[in-house]
């Protein structure tokens, strides 16, 4: 037996040497090159390709707030031949797969009389094209697929190649060509299930790119019917659910998502997100209770910890749809604080919290949450970011004035008390503060004690932070603050620990004297604080009325101004705005405010406005008011000030509710300044700044008043 093997080996070696030639069309040569191509070169190339594809898919992050792309491949820009589209690590693996495919073609192709005798070469071209496709070099990929279709029409993988050829045309924005070739392919009755699935999926991609939703849905459904076991099938079903929701077909959408949830072979990421999508579809109150139970079960499941931020958010959203605002707010807060939560989800949760407080009229809290949105976001050009930024900017004046109101009201409350009342009130505050401090201290000590017993029991001295801190205090009592260095006994150095201890010692003691020192006692100081508070209340009334259209909040703030008495500079304009609000809402109180303005302030512009309210033109940007203003401005430039003043009185009565009123009034102030001097100018400017504080004209008038006061 051994002798036979020894004799046979030289002949096998000789046979292999002869078989290396691609120039002779013999059975031995064909077998050798086909075998070498399949089990050596292409095998290694296919492994590199599959690793690259897996890495590409693992690195791809779907945004489930948007319609998922049918093929998870992000194409930023088309790569030129010889270039990679991005620096993704998977491109190295695709490059290796391409290299192996090229090697197979160059070293093992056997063409005789324009026919390929190595049956593995068409596979090599297919691998070549697919590697280039995922490297996003679509033009050279198309060349590879074209070569197979032209030269290997009877190849085993010809139908698969045609699908890839169509997909590549689609990536090159040749949608019509892609659809035509796929239609022809789908007419083939001998098409296997795999190719049929891929062809319908590619057709759906093409129609989606053309925004033909009906055809997209048709081909996605066809693909799912062919095969429900593929990962791509789960993705297709998920996209069907999203498309049905876009078409307002919630029953069909729910059916698609439920199908994913119930399919044991669906990948986990699609199952959990399908459950979330079902929550998005909740509309009727009948389904709320059931969906709340499902989401709570998902939250309790430890396998879903990575999705807690989303689950809490959508549970909050379900509560919000059912008008259970407080419960919704709790869930949104949990979403924000969920461990390892995604940045984008935090943005959505902060926005939801901001919207809740905005709708409640808690604008200061809303502003804080919107700040969190802006600070957490990384996409600064999105519609969401721009919209939130605009809303947040509109809240600046609200927050500023609400702070003034809260602070000054608090100060005045204590300033207007007698000594006994003030002492008693401060005593109550101090008692509450000390009780809170003691409670927090006890909770902190208990927590540290528990942690110490859990983590430090039986361990070395320096593992216990409380003991270490105690030791440091004892050390410093004896030696003072010393640096960590040689000759420490003689060095002067204050450690951060000592600095912290000193900082704690500097904290003011909670005493009567501390609070009394910060309460104003001079009448001039009290009057100044009251004036600022009154102005803030008035400005808030204007903002709520004109910017946020919250008449309820505006009425509340204007009524506050009236409570402060008629001596306030804002009493009359606040009364006028209350008249306007109640007139618009057809409330009988409007007549009371009108009568008061006419009776107490008959010579004021407000009296003129309420008396002529029926003749006012209710327009915003009407041509008549614009033409009137331009005419007056031209007269002003010609220094015909008396004519301007005469015409202004008529125009102010006619266009009393026009959006251009601040411009008319500011022009009147300038005209009065020219005719009557600085005192009239200042008085008119003060009227503009008070009546229209949130307009450009109002702010300009206030700036001029401040300048006059300084000079």
Task: Tell the burial category of 365 from Cβ atoms under 10 Å away from its Cβ (0-12, 13-18, 19+).
Answer: middle
User: For the domain bounded by 557-710, which CATH number is listed?
Assistant: 1.25.40.10
Which residue, 405, 375, 409, 373, is CA-closest to 388? 373
Dihedral angle sign, alpha carbons of residues 650, 653, 656, 658: negative
| Regions of the chain where pLDDT drops below 50 | 1-17, 19, 33, 82, 112, 454, 457-464, 467-468, 477, 488-506, 617-621
Q: What is the DSSP string of 621-675?
A: S-HHHHHHHHHHHHHHHTT-HHHHHHHHHHHHHHTTT-TTHHHHHHHHHHHHHHH
Taking the chain, what is the end-to-end CA distance rounded to the nearest angstrom?
121
115 strand-pairing partners = 112
Structural contact between residues 540 and 402, judged by C-beta atoms closer than 8 angstroms: yes
With contact defined as beta carbons under 8 Å apart, do 111 and 117 qualify?
A: yes
- pTM equals 0.66
- For residue 15, the model assigns a pLDDT of 45
3-class secondary structure for 234-302? HHHHHHHHHHHHHCCCHHHHHHHHHHHHHCCCCCHHHHHHHHHHHHHCCCCHHHHHHHHHHHHHHHHCH
As beta bridge partners, residue 111 has: 116
Q: What does the buried/exposed string (b/e) look like for 79-108 if buried means 16 or more CB atoms within 10 Å of the residue's CB?
A: beeeeebeebebbbbbbbbbbbbbbbbeeb
Q: Rounded distance, CA 697 to CA 702, Å?
A: 9
- At residue 13, the pLDDT reads 47
Q: Where in the chain are the domains? A: 557-710
Instruction: Give the Cα separation of 273 and 304 in Å (integer).
Output: 11
Residue 302, both tokens: 């430890």
Six-digit token pair at 593? Answer: 């405010």
Distance CA 648, CA 651 (A): 5
Query: Checking DSSP bridges between strand 111-112 and strand 115-116, what pairing results, if any?
Result: antiparallel
DSSP labels, 463-520:
G-HHHHHHHHHHHHHHH-S--SSTTGGG-----HHHHHHHHHHHSPP--HHHHHTTS-
Q: How far apart are CA 113 and CA 152, in angstroms?
A: 13
Per-residue burial over 242-276, b if 16 or more Cβ lie within 10 Å, else e, is: bbbbeeeebebbbebbebbbebeebeebbbbbbbb
Can you give the pLDDT at residue 184? 94
SS3 call for 588: coil
Q: What pLDDT score was predicted for residue 334?
A: 94
In degrees and rounded to multiples of 5, residue 138 shows phi and psi of -75, -30
Nearest to 109 by CA among 191, 212, 23, 40: 23
User: Is residue 133 within a helix (H) or strand (E), and if so which, with residue range?
Assistant: helix 121-134
Distance CA 34, CA 41 (A): 10
pLDDT digits (tens, 9 = 90+) for 638-676: 888 888 888 877 776 666 666 778 888 888 888 888 888
């Amino acid at each position: 037996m051994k002798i036979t093997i020894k004799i046979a080996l030289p002949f096998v070696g000789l046979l292999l040497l002869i078989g290396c030639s691609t120039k002779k069309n013999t059975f031995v040569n064909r077998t050798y090159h086909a075998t070498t191509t399949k089990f050596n070169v292409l095998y290694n190339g296919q492994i590199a390709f599959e690793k690259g594809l897996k890495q590409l898919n693992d690195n791809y992050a779907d945004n489930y707030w948007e319609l998922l792309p049918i093929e998870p491949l992000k194409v930023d820009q088309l790569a030129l031949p010889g270039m990679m589209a991005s620096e993704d690590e998977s491109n190295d693996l695709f490059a290796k797969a391409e290299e192996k495919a090229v090697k197979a073609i160059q070293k093992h192709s056997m063409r005789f009389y324009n026919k390929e005798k190595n049956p593995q070469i068409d596979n090599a071209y297919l691998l070549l094209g697919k590697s280039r496709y995922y490297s996003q070099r679509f033009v050279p990929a198309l060349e590879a697929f074209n070569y197979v279709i032209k030269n290997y029409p009877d190849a085993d993988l010809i139908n698969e190649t045609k699908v890839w050829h169509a997909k590549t045309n689609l990536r090159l924005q040749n949608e019509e060509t892609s659809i035509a070739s796929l239609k022809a392919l789908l007419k083939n009755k001998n098409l296997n299930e795999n190719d049929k699935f891929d062809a319908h999926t590619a057709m759906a991609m093409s129609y989606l790119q053309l925004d033909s939703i009906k055809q997209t849905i048709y081909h996605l459904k066809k693909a799912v019917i062919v095969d429900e076991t593929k990962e791509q099938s789960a993705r297709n079903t998920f996209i069907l659910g999203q498309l049905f929701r876009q078409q307002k077909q919630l029953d069909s959408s729910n059916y698609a998502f439920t199908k994913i949830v119930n399919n044991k072979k669906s990948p986990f990421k699609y199952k959990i997100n399908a459950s979330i999508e079902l929550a998005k579809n909740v509309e009727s109150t009948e389904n709320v209770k059931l969906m709340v139970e499902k989401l709570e079960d998902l939250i309790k499941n430890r396998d879903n910890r990575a999705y807690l931020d989303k689950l809490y958010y959508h549970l909050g959203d379900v509560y919000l749809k059912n008008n259970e605002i407080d419960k919704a707010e709790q869930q949104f807060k949990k979403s924000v604080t969920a461990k390892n939560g995604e940045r984008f989800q935090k943005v959505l949760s902060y926005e939801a919290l901001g919207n809740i407080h905005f709708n409640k009229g808690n604008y200061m809290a809303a502003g804080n949450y919107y700040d969190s949105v802006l600070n957490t976001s990384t996409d600064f050009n999105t519609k969401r970011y721009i919209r939130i930024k605009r809303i947040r900017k509109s809240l600046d004046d609200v927050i500023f004035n609400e702070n003034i109101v809260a602070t000054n009201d608090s100060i005045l409350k204590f300033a207007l008390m007698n000594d006994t009342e003030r002492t008693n009130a401060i005593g109550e505050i101090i008692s509450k503060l000390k009780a809170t401090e003691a409670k927090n201290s006890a909770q902190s000590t208990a927590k540290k004690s528990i942690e110490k017993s859990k983590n430090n029991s039986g361990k070395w001295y320096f593992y216990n932070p409380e003991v270490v801190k105690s030791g440091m205090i004892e050390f410093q009592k004896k030696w003072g603050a010393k640096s960590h260095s040689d000759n420490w006994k003689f060095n002067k150095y204050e450690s951060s620990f000592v600095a912290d201890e000193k900082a704690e010692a500097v904290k003011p003691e909670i005493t009567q004297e501390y609070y009394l020192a910060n309460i104003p006692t001079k009448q001039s100081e009290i009057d100044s604080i009251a004036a600022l508070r009154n102005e803030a209340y008035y400005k808030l009334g204007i903002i709520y009325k004109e910017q946020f259209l919250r008449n309820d909040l505006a009425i509340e703030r204007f009524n506050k101004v009236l409570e402060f008495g008629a001596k306030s500079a804002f009493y009359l304009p606040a009364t006028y705005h209350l008249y306007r609000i109640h007139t618009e809402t057809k409330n009988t109180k409007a007549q009371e405010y009108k009568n008061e303005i006419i009776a107490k302030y008959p010579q004021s512009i407000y009296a003129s406005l309420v008396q002529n309210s029926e003749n006012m033109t209710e327009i915003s940007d009407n041509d008549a008011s614009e033409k009137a203003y331009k005419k007056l401005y031209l007269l002003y430039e010609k220094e015909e000030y008396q004519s301007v003043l005469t015409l202004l009185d008529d125009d102010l009565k006619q266009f009393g509710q026009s959006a251009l009123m601040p411009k008319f009034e500011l022009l009147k102030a300038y005209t009065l300044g020219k005719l009557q001097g600085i005192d009239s100018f200042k008085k008119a400017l003060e009227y503009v700044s008070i009546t229209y504080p949130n307009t450009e004209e109002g702010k300009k008038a206030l700036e001029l008043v401040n300048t006059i006061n300084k000079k």
